[in-house]
């Protein structure tokens, strides 16, 4: 009877918790409310605790461990056997993922024994898979492969639509685990550097329409790592990015942390340190949030290396210390003593179970000795590595005082160099914006020059006619011709002044700023730079056309500002707007009409000017970075990454103003500038 009850309990546990993946946040909220209302320490509360722990798996291991341990403690206290198995099944997953390998392995071996005693082959297959995962974390890939094979061999003969049904996943156990194990075997082959076999298994699962959706991000992570080893970096990047997107859909923070780290490593290999540092930080903070210690360790080491390479010694040292802390937590001597103890206890238990079978006893003793030897060697290696890291830390501390002195001496030179570099960069951006103006100015100045030339030629002809009429003594006709000549001369004078104004504007833009603010007509300045930027772009791309809309507040007073600097800001914003509409026009249908709008307005003590476009807009992921120096979305060679950064400095630091951005991806952007009137 007792055996039957345990069998029922284990089957229920298998259905409800062992195989369930991360639950939705709605489920977590519901069960937390239920738990808050149910205070009585009974089987219902133990079940609620286990389910909460199960829902937190893969997105918050600290919470999963907290509720799992509470569930196990309560189940033992009230003698709830089914609750104990359910809590242990949830705990062993979270323990493994957080680096508590000894405790996880101990629970897994205990659950495997219970499954075998009850002859529950589905639960046995699940625990074989879990043990294989733990050995993979230990670095014993061959042993992990053996457990994966044994697990898959259990599920392969069972049809997809037979056997226990996994609650919350809409899969049968056989359908789910035969594919999960195939991917696990591919992962083990990749770790063993047997890349052909790894590619065979992982590709087959990628093309399998029945592959479980919740572990697709993990499969994409493995395929990306495999492609990277095969030298196909671009394919690897595609798999990593797709995996990150799916991890949001499936709510698997664990996979997301790993994929972020893999992408950071890839960018590091491609010598793109900024992108590498960004994704390394994403990986570190994601792993830190969910207590995924191993990933946090790898990410912090990569961040430390990137900061060291860039010369940011303080940040490099800080993350190196973080990495040392994680490494001690994962690979400290206590951890390995615990693992050795678990392995030793497992060996003794196996020997007891195999009493009376002398032939098999000797074999298991040999296997146990080999396993112990392997882990002792691993332990010694890691202890040696830990000692080496400690020695490195001591050397670093010993040299820190001398480094501080050296850094202090270098600081003055660095600051001076930064000022010099900043001046050079600003001048470079000025020349870049001047180049943008040149084409527009050439087009603008051509029109008045054409008028001057044409009217000059007409006047020459009319002077000849005047001479003829005077010879004929036709005074009336001569006066009429003279009036026409006078009118033409007025037009020549008008257009000559127009050309002169354009040239003066160009000279004013190109010369260095005196730093003295003067009242400027913001409407005229905006209109001038809008047209110059448009004609400059048209000189490069004759096929590009855009609608220019101006909504100027005629009551706007003159604004105290540096005209060269404000003009440069307007030019940068308008050029960016034209670029955005030009890029969208390449992919949009014929109904799309590029439009750039400049608006001015008076609001209290502030003059407001905005530049809006109907281009592609700015993705939310980069909105906070577009004002940073050297950040650009343009292809290499088409942008300096300084335009918006310098514009921000001119408006905020130089004029005490404000600059705000509103953008909807796919619809357009609007840059809004506020300038104080006093």
Which pLDDT tens digit goes with each residue over 539-597? Answer: 778 888 889 999 999 999 999 998 888 888 898 899 889 888 988 888 888 889 999 99
pLDDT beyond 50 at 22: no
Would you place residue 23 in the very low, low, confident or very high pLDDT band (cuts 50, 70, 90)?
very low
More confident position, 551 or 122: 551
- Angle subtended by helix axes 141-155 and 121-138, to nearest 10: 160
271 torsion bin: left (phi>0), alpha (psi -120 to 50), beta (else): left
108 or 344: whose pLDDT is higher?
108
Mean pLDDT of the 472-494 span: 79
Mean pLDDT of 323-346: 68
Across the range 503-522, mean pLDDT stands at 67
Tell me if 602 is assigned to some domain: yes
277 within domain boundaries: no
Q: Which long-range contacts (CB under 8 A, 24 or more apart) does 192-195 make?
A: 192/141, 192/142, 192/145, 193/229, 195/226, 195/229, 195/230
Task: State the average pLDDT over residues 618-623.
Answer: 82
The DSSP code for 15 is: I
Residue 504 included in any domain: no
Count how many domains the chain has.
Answer: 1
Q: Element (H or E) spanning 661, and its range?
A: strand 658-664
DSSP letter at 213?
A: G
Whether 92 has a pLDDT exceeding 50, the answer reads yes
* Mean pLDDT score, 443-459: 67
- Name 588's bridge partners: none
600 within 8 A of 523, measured Cβ to Cβ? yes
Distance between CA atoms of residues 678 and 606, nearest Å: 9
**CA angle, 313 as apex, 99 and 237 as ends, to 5°?**
55
Please report whether residue 524 resides in a domain.
Answer: yes
Q: Residue 139: its pLDDT value, please?
A: 85
The answer to whether residues 518 and 564 touch, using CB atoms and an 8 Å cutoff, is: no
How far apart CA 569 and CA 571 sit, in angstroms, is 5
Q: State how far the Cα of 620 lies from the Cα of 280, in Å rounded to an integer.
A: 19
Other Cβ atoms closer than 10 A to 424: 10
**Distant-in-sequence, close-in-space partners of 247: CB < 8 Å, separation ≥ 6:** 217, 253, 255, 256, 259
Report helix, strand and coil shares of the chain as percent, to nearest 5. Answer: 75, 5, 20
Residues near 123 by Cβ (< 8 Å), separated by ≥ 6?
10, 11, 13, 14, 18, 111, 114, 115
User: What mean pLDDT do residues 332-339 have?
Assistant: 61
Distance CA 297, CA 294 (A): 5
Separation of alpha carbons 375 and 369, rounded Å: 10
175-192 average pLDDT score:
91
Residue-wise DSSP of 624-651: GGTTSTT---SPTTS--S-HHHHHHIII
Tell me the mean pLDDT in the region 518-540: 86
- Smallest CA-to-CA distance from 177 within 109, 128, 222 is with 128
pLDDT in the model for residue 613: 94
Query: Whole-number mean pLDDT of the chain?
Result: 81
Total residues found in the chain within this entry = 678
- Is 577 within a domain? yes
Q: Is residue 635 domain-resident?
A: yes
SS3 state at 16: helix
Query: Which residues, including other chains, have CB under 8 Å from residue 273's CB and lie 6 or more apart?
Result: 267, 306, 309, 310
The pLDDT, as a whole number, for residue 21 is: 40
Q: Which of 609, 627, 449, 445 is nearest to 522 (CA)?
A: 609
pLDDT of amino acid 365: 77
Q: Is 78's pLDDT higher than 60?
A: yes
- Looking at per-residue pLDDT, the higher value among 594 and 501 belongs to 594
Residue 303: the pLDDT is 95
Q: Can you tell me the distance from the alpha carbon of 49 to that of 68, in angstroms, rounded to the nearest whole number?
A: 7
Report residue 446's pLDDT band, with 50, 70 and 90 as the boundaries. low
160-181 average pLDDT score: 80
What average pLDDT does range 134-142 have in this prediction? 88
Q: Is the residue at 190 inside a domain?
A: no
pLDDT digits (tens, 9 = 90+) for 149-158: 999 998 899 8
Instruction: Compare 168 and 65 and report the one with higher pLDDT.
Output: 65
Burial 540-571 (b: 16+ CB within 10 A, else e): eeeeeebebeeebbeebeebebbbbbbbbbbb
**Higher confidence at residue 511 or residue 530?**
530
Task: Tell me, yes or no, whether 236 lies in a domain.
Answer: no
What is the pLDDT at residue 429? 54
Determine the average pLDDT of the residues in 398-412.
Answer: 74
pLDDT > 70 in the chain, percent: 80
**Does an H or E element contain 190, and which?**
helix 173-191
What's the confidence (pLDDT) of residue 290? 83
**Would you state the pLDDT for residue 381?**
85
**Residue 118: CA atoms inside 13 Å, Cβ hemisphere, count?**
22
Residue 393 has pLDDT above 90, yes or no: no
The model's pLDDT over 313-325, given as tens digits with 9 standing for 90+, comes to 999 999 999 988 8
- Residue 559: which of 514, 518, 590 has the closest Cα? 518
Flag the least confident range among 21-35, 123-137, 290-304, 598-612: 21-35
The answer, yes or no, to whether residue 125 has pLDDT greater than 70, is yes
pLDDT at 521: 92
Q: Which two tokens stand for residue 383?
A: 């202890």
Domain that holds residue 602: 520-676
What confidence score (pLDDT) does residue 642 get? 62
Report residue 13's pLDDT band, with 50, 70 and 90 as the boundaries.
very low
Token pair recorded at residue 498: 């127009």
CA distance 627 to 648: 7
CATH number at residue 613: 3.30.565.10
Q: State the number of CA atoms in the 13 A half-sphere of 125 facing the CB.
A: 26
CA-wise closest residue to 393 among 323, 299, 462, 335: 323
Rounded average pLDDT over 328-341 = 65
**Rounded to whole angstroms, how far apart are CA atoms 280 and 263?**
8
- Listed residue (71, 105, 74) closest to 87, CA to CA: 71
């Amino acid at each position: 009877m007792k055996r039957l009850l345990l069998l029922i309990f284990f089957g229920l546990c298998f259905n409800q918790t062992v195989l369930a993946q991360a639950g939705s946040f709605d489920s977590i909220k519901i069960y937390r409310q239920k738990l808050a209302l149910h205070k009585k320490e009974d089987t219902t509360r133990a079940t609620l605790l286990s389910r909460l722990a199960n829902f937190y798996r893969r997105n918050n291991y600290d919470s999963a461990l907290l509720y799992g341990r509470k569930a196990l403690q309560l189940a033992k206290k009230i003698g709830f056997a089914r609750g104990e198995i359910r809590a242990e099944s949830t705990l062993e997953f979270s323990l493994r993922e957080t680096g508590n390998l000894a405790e996880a392995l101990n629970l897994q071996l205990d659950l495997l024994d219970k499954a075998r005693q009850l002859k529950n082959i589905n639960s046995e297959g699940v625990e074989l898979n879990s043990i294989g995962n733990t050995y993979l974390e230990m670095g014993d890939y061959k042993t992990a492969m053996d457990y994966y094979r044994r697990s898959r061999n259990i599920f392969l003969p069972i049809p997809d639509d037979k056997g226990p049904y996994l609650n919350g996943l809409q899969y049968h156990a056989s359908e789910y685990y035969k594919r999960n194990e195939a991917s696990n075997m591919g992962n083990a082959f990749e770790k063993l550097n047997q890349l052909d076999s790894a590619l065979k298994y992982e590709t087959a699962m990628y093309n399998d329409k029945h592959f479980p959706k919740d572990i697709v991000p993990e499969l994409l992570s493995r395929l990306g790592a495999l492609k990277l080893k095969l030298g196909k970096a671009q394919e690897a990047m595609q798999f990593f990015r797709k995996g990150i997107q799916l991890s949001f859909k499936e709510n698997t923070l664990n996979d997301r942390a790993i994929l972020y780290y893999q992408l950071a490593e890839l960018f590091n290999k491609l010598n793109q340190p900024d992108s590498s540092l960004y994704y390394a930080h994403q990986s570190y903070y994601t792993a830190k949030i969910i207590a995924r210690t191993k990933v946090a360790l790898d990410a912090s080491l990569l961040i430390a290396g990137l900061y060291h390479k860039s010369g940011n010694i303080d940040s490099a040292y800080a993350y190196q210390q973080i990495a040392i802390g994680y490494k001690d937590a994962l690979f400290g001597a206590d951890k390995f003593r615990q693992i050795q103890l678990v392995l030793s206890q497992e060996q003794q238990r196996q020997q007891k179970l195999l009493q009376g079978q002398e032939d098999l006893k000797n074999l298991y003793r040999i296997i146990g000795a080999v396993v112990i030897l392997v882990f002792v060697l691993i332990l010694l290696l890691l202890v040696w590595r830990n000692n080496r890291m400690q020695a490195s830390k001591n050397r670093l501390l010993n040299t820190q005082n001398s480094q501080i002195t050296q850094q202090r001496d270098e600081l003055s030179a660095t600051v001076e160099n930064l000022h010099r570099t900043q001046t050079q960069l600003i001048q470079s951006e000025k020349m870049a914006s001047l180049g943008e103006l040149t084409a527009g100015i050439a087009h603008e100045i051509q029109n008045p020059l054409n008028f001057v030339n044409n009217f000059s030629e007409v006047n020459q002809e009319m002077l000849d006619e005047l001479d003829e009429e005077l010879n004929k003594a036709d005074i009336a006709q001569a006066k009429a011709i003279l009036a026409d000549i006078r009118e033409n001369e007025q037009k020549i004078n008008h257009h000559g002044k127009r050309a002169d104004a354009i040239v003066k504007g160009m000279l004013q833009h190109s010369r260095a700023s005196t730093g003295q603010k003067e009242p400027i007509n913001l409407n005229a300045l905006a209109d001038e730079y809008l047209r110059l930027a448009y004609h400059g772009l048209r000189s490069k791309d004759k096929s590009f056309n855009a609608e220019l809309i101006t909504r100027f507040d005629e009551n706007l007073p003159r604004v105290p500002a540096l005209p060269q600097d404000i003009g440069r800001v307007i030019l940068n914003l308008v050029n960016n707007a034209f670029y955005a509409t030009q890029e969208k026009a390449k992919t949009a249908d014929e109904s799309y009409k590029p439009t750039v709008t400049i608006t001015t307005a008076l609001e209290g003590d502030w003059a407001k000017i905005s530049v809006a476009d109907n281009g592609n807009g700015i993705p939310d992921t980069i909105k906070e970075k577009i004002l940073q120096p050297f950040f650009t979305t343009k292809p290499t060679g088409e942008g300096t990454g300084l335009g918006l950064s310098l514009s921000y400095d001119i408006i905020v630091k130089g004029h005490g103003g404000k600059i705000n951005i509103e953008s909807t991806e796919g619809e357009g952007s609007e840059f809004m500038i506020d300038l104080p009137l006093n």
